[in-house]
Amino acid sequence: MTDTTVAIREARATDAAGMARVHVQSWRSTYPGLIPAQFLINLSEPPAAQRWAAIAEMRGPGQGAFVAVDVGGLIAAPDTIVGIASFGTRRVAVQGHAGEFHALYLLDDAKGYGIGRRLMAAMADRFLTAGIRSAAVWCLRDNPSRWFYERLGGIKVAERPIRFANTDLVEIAYGWRDLTPLARLSAGPEVR
């Protein structure tokens, strides 16, 4: 199967429930063994939806959110949101990188079809349009998805200890000093 039935478009506040579903399912699939189970059990879609509604409304030059929608219904029911991504200015500064990829999460069934790459390309394209030429992403060092960022040309540029959910963790940052090749990975998002 190809990913041709999946559309990438800007998120809207009305997408919030679908975005929260992806967020919670992806955290519960990605972080067992990394983040305490009780934290993952306690995740709840309604408060996550409130946060995603606010993020979707904070659209502006160099910040916003995208959703991947399974228009054709080959991965999930037709028009299901199967992937989410958000980006903006730096929450934690990484020297030489102006933008930050804040979040990127897919449903398990949506992995492996190039949707993550298209979402990264869509965000990179928006950064470049806003005159932001470089960006970084923070990722847990023990998250196997970190290799996805390396595959897309990210270079490890920083590492830091963090305390999250009463647990000591290590995050690493991958950076793209020039977002142009990343933005070119996809022909561009289908924006509706």
Ligand X SMILES: CC(C)(COP(=O)(O)OP(=O)(O)OC[C@H]1O[C@@H](n2cnc3c(N)ncnc32)[C@H](O)[C@@H]1OP(=O)(O)O)[C@@H](O)C(=O)NCCC(=O)NCCS
DSSP, collapsed to helix, strand or coil, labels residue 14 as helix
Q: Does 66 contact ligand X by CB under 6 A?
A: no
Binding flag, residue 104, ligand X (CB under 6 A): yes
The rounded Cα 97 to chain-centroid distance in angstroms is 17
C-alpha span between 30 and 33 (Å, rounded):
9
Residue with the CB atom nearest ligand X in the bound state: 116
Beta pairing partners, 68: 8, 83
Nearer to ligand X, 39 or 148 (CB): 148
Please select the residue that binds ligand X; options are 5, 74, 141, 148, rule is CB under 6 A. 148
DSSP 13: G
Out of 11, 82, 106, 122, the residue judged to bind ligand X by CB under 6 A: 106
Q: Return the DSSP state at 15.
A: G
Is 172 a binding residue for ligand X by CB under 6 A? The answer is no
Q: Does 5 bind ligand X (CB under 6 A)?
A: no
How do 135-140 and 80-94 pair as beta strands? unpaired
Using CB atoms within 10 A of its CB, is residue 135 exposed (0-12), middle (13-18) or buried (19+)?
buried
CA distance 9 to 28: 25
Of the candidate spans 13-21, 33-41, 124-132, 141-149, the one that interacts with ligand X by CB under 6 A turns out to be 141-149
Q: What angle do CA 85, 130, 10 make, to 5 degrees?
A: 35
Total number of residues binding ligand X (CB under 6 A)? 19
Contact between 86 and ligand X per CB under 6 A: no
Query: Shortest Cβ distance from residue 115 to ligand X (Å)?
Result: 4
User: Using CB under 6 A, which of the segments 44-52, 106-114, 126-134, 160-168 binds ligand X?
Assistant: 106-114
Using CB under 6 A, pick the residue from 5, 114, 141, 157 that binds ligand X.
114
- Convert residues 17-56 into a mask of x (bound to ligand X by CB under 6 A) and - (unbound): ---------x---x--------------------------
116 forms part of the interface with ligand X (CB under 6 A): yes
| 90: Cα separation from own chain's centroid | 14
